[in-house]
Chains A and B, each alone.
Chain A
Amino acid sequence: MIRVQNITKRFGEFPALHGIDLEVKPGEFIALLGPSGSGKTTLLRIIAGLEFQDSGEVFFHDEDVSSVGVGERQVGFVFQHYALFRHMTVAENVAFGLTVRKAKNRPAKSVIKARAEELLRLVQLDGLGSRYPGQLSGGQRQRVALARALAIEPRLLLLDEPFGALDAKVRKDLRRWLKDLHRQMGLTSIFVTHDQEEALELADRVVVMDHGVIEQIGTPEQVYMEPATPFVARFVGETNQLPASDGKDMLHVRPHDLEIVAADGDAVLVDNVFRKGGCWRVEGTLTGGGKVVEIDLDASRPAPSPGETVLIRPRRSKIFAQTGA
C-alpha cells in the first residue's frame, strides 16, 4: 500500500502541491489526471523520490520513505521521452539496474542475461536485445524503458506521461497492452496523463488534479458520471454549461445527454453538423446567450441542418452551485 499524507511543495514562489492525501491499494492502477501545471508530475516525482516535499510524508506499506533517496526506494520509473541509454544495447539497458548493484547483491552474469531476455520477451521485444535504442521505433523504445524499470523488481511502477511522445495508433496499442500487462503482473502502478480518455480507459481509479490540489478521486465511472466539481465536469469528458432555470446556477450536461424536443426547451441555432463515430455531432449556439453547445444525436435518425433552430432539453444534468465569482 502506498500512502501519501499532507504533501506540500513549492517551487520558489509557485505552489505546486498543497495538502495532498492519497492512498493506493496493492495492485491498483491509478491515473493522476490534470492539465499542465496541476502538480500531477510533481506528485509522481515525490512518490518516486526524484523530488522532495516541503512537508508531509510518503509511506510504502508502513515504512516512512519520506527522506529515503530514489535509489533505495526501489520504484520503477518510466519517463515520457524513454530516457534510454543510447550508447548501450537494448539488453544492456534492461540489465542496467542489476549490473549496477553492489557485488554482494549482484546476480551472476548469466543470471542477469537470462533475466534481461525474459523481460524482453515480456515486452514482446525478444530477439532485439543486441540492437541500440536509436534503431527502434518510439513504441519499442518505451517498452524497453518499461522492461528496464521492471528489471529491479520494483515495489511500485510509476509512469510519467508514458504515451505522450507516441503517435495515435501506437499509443492505443500500447495502452491496451499495458493494461493487459498490469492485469497479468498485478504490480501497483501510478501513471500521469493529461489525456482523460487514457485515464478512463486504463485506471482502476482516477485522481483528478488542478492547481496543486486533488479535485476528485474515484473510479472512471464515478469521475465521469458524478463529477465532484465543475472543474472535473469540464476536464473529464465533454460538457455543456447551460444556465439553470433559477438563473443563478449552471447545469453541466454531456453532449449525449441532450435531446431535441418539440416544445419546452432551450432554443439552439445549429451552426454545424458532422458525423462523429456512431452519432451526429451538432454544434450550435444558444439563442440569446450566445453560448456554444455541443449535442450528440443518434445517427439512425435524420440530423438537423445548419441554419435551423432546434429546441433542446437535458435528459440528465449536474448542478454546481455558483461559489463566489
Chain B
Amino acid sequence: MPTTTFRRPDWRAPSVLPGFGLTFGFTLAWLTLIVLIPLATIFLRSAGMGWHEFVAVGFSHRALAAYRLSFGTAAAAGLVNALFGLLVAWVLVRYSFPGKRVVSALVDLPFALPTAVAGIALTAIYAPTGWIGQYLEPLGIKVAFTPIGITIALVFIGLPFVVRSVEPVLADLGHDVEEAAATLGANRVQTFSQVIFPAIAPALVTGFALAFARGVGEYGSVIFISGNMPGKTEIAPLLIVTQLEQYAYAGATAIATVMMLVSFVILFGLNTWQAVRRRRLGA
C-alpha cells in the first residue's frame, strides 16, 4: 500500500489542533470572495483606461485636493480620537462610577447610528444658526462646511475604534508596573510617559489606524457637514460618487485605485511597525 508522508513546512509551528489546511484554505477563499475580487475589479476597471487618462483623472487638481482633504481630515480626526479615546478608555478601565455601563454603550453608538443621521445632527448643531455654531460664528470660527466640520464628523464616527482597541490592553496592564515605577521614585508624569504609555502605544496605534481608515472611506456623515465645494471641501469618496453620477466609471475607479493604494501602504506600514516591535520585545 502506498504511503504518503506529510512534511510540515518549516514556517509552521506544530499544533495540537489539526486543520491548518482547511482553515487556511477557507481564510483565503473568504478573503478572496469578500475583499480581493471586489478590489480587483476596481483595478481592472481602471486598467481599462490608458495610463495617461488614468493620471489625468486620478491626479487632477480636483482629485489631489480631495485626497489631501480626505487623508488630512482622517489623520487629524484619528489623532484627536487617539487622545480623547485614550482618555475615555482610561476612565472606563480605571474608575467605577454610577452609569458606567451607559457611558460604555454610548461609546459604541457611532457604530450603530446611520452615518447620515450623524451628519445631519452635526450640521444642525454646527451650522452658523445651530446650537453651538451661533456662538462660534461671532468668534470668526466656521465649523460647518469647512474642513473643521469634516474632522468633527470623522471624530464622531472614529471614537469607538480607539476606545475599544485601547481598553482591553489598559485593563490587562498590571497595576504592579505602576507601583514598581513609584517605588523606584518615578513621579506620575514619568510613570505615565515612560511606563504606561509605551505599553499601550501599540493598541493606540491600532485604534488610530482603524479610525483613520474608517475616516478615509467615510461618506454618509461628511457630505452633510462638508459643503462639498470642489477643490475646497470635497472629500475623495464624494468625488467618486460624483464621477459615478456622471457615468464616468473609469474615472471613479481611477480615484478609488489611488485611495486604495495610499491607504494600503499606510495600514501596511503601521502593521509592520507593530510586528517588528512585538518580535523585538520577544513576546
B180–A77 contact, CB under 8 A? yes
Q: Name which of A48, A76, A83, A152 has the most chain B CB atoms within 10 A of its CB.
A: A83
A79–B180 contact, CB under 8 A? yes
Does B185 have its Cβ within 8 Å of any Cβ on chain A? yes
Given contacts A96-B186, A100-B190, A101-B185, contact A86 B199 (CB under 8 A): yes
B184–A100 contact, CB under 8 A? yes
- How many A residues face the partner with a CB closer than 8 A? 33
B281–A71 contact, CB under 8 A? no
With CB as the reference atom, state the residue of chain B lying closest to A45: B179
Q: For the complex, give the distance between the alpha carbons of A145 and B184 in Å.
A: 11
Q: For the complex, give the distance between the alpha carbons of A174 and B245 in Å.
A: 74
A100–B281 contact, CB under 8 A? no
- How many B residues face the partner with a CB closer than 8 A? 21
Q: Which residues of B contact A88 (CB under 8 A)?
A: 198
B186–A50 contact, CB under 8 A? no
Q: For the complex, give the distance between the alpha carbons of A148 and B198 in Å.
A: 19
Does B282 have its Cβ within 8 Å of any Cβ on chain A? yes
Q: Which residues of B contact A81 (CB under 8 A)?
A: 174, 176
B181–A96 contact, CB under 8 A? yes
Q: For the complex, give the distance between the alpha carbons of A88 and B186 in Å.
A: 15
With CB as the reference atom, state the residue of chain A lying closest to B190: A100
Q: For the complex, give the distance between the alpha carbons of A76 and B180 in Å.
A: 9
- Give residues 98-151 of A contacting B (CB, 8 Å): 100-101, 131-135, 145, 148-149, 151
Q: For the complex, give the distance between the alpha carbons of A70 and B183 in Å.
A: 6
Partner of A100, one of B194, B198, B282, B283: B194
Does B187 have its Cβ within 8 Å of any Cβ on chain A? yes
Partner of B282, one of A48, A83, A135: A135
Cβ contacts B256-280/A at 8 Å (1 or 0 each)? 0000000000000000000000001
- Give residues 156-205 of B contacting A (CB, 8 Å): 174, 176-177, 179-187, 190, 194-195, 198-199
Q: Name which of B183, B199, B281 has the most chain A CB atoms within 10 A of its CB.
A: B183
B199–A134 contact, CB under 8 A? no
Does A97 have its Cβ within 8 Å of any Cβ on chain B? yes
With CB as the reference atom, state the residue of chain B lying closest to A73: B183
Given contacts A50-B179, A100-B190, contact A152 B174 (CB under 8 A): no
A77–B183 contact, CB under 8 A? yes
Given contacts A79-B176, A86-B283, A100-B194, contact A152 B199 (CB under 8 A): no
Does A85 have its Cβ within 8 Å of any Cβ on chain B? yes
Q: Which residues of B contact A133 (CB under 8 A)?
A: 282
A85–B179 contact, CB under 8 A? no
Q: Which residues of B contact A96 (CB under 8 A)?
A: 181, 184, 186, 194
Given contacts A85-B177, A86-B281, A135-B282, contact A100 B187 (CB under 8 A): yes
Q: For the complex, give the distance between the alpha carbons of A133 and B187 in Å.
A: 23
A134–B283 contact, CB under 8 A? yes
Does A87 have its Cβ within 8 Å of any Cβ on chain B? yes
- Give residues 225-283 of B contacting A (CB, 8 Å): 280-283
Q: For the complex, give the distance between the alpha carbons of A97 and B194 in Å.
A: 12
Q: Which residues of A contact B187 (CB under 8 A)?
A: 71, 100
Q: Which residues of B contact A200 (CB under 8 A)?
A: none
Q: For the complex, give the distance between the alpha carbons of A152 and B174 in Å.
A: 22
Q: For the complex, give the distance between the alpha carbons of A58 and B283 in Å.
A: 40
With CB as the reference atom, state the residue of chain A lying closest to B277: A87
Partner of A134, one of B176, B180, B184, B281: B281
A71–B282 contact, CB under 8 A? no
29 contacting pairs across A/B (C-beta < 8 A): A49-B183, A70-B179, A70-B183, A71-B185, A71-B186, A72-B185, A79-B176, A79-B180, A83-B176, A83-B179, A84-B177, A84-B180, A85-B194, A85-B198, A86-B281, A86-B283, A96-B181, A96-B194, A97-B184, A97-B185, A100-B181, A100-B186, A100-B190, A134-B281, A134-B283, A135-B282, A145-B180, A149-B184, A152-B185
Closest 8 interchain pairs by CB?
A: A134-B282, A135-B282, A97-B184, A83-B176, A83-B180, A77-B183, A100-B186, A87-B198
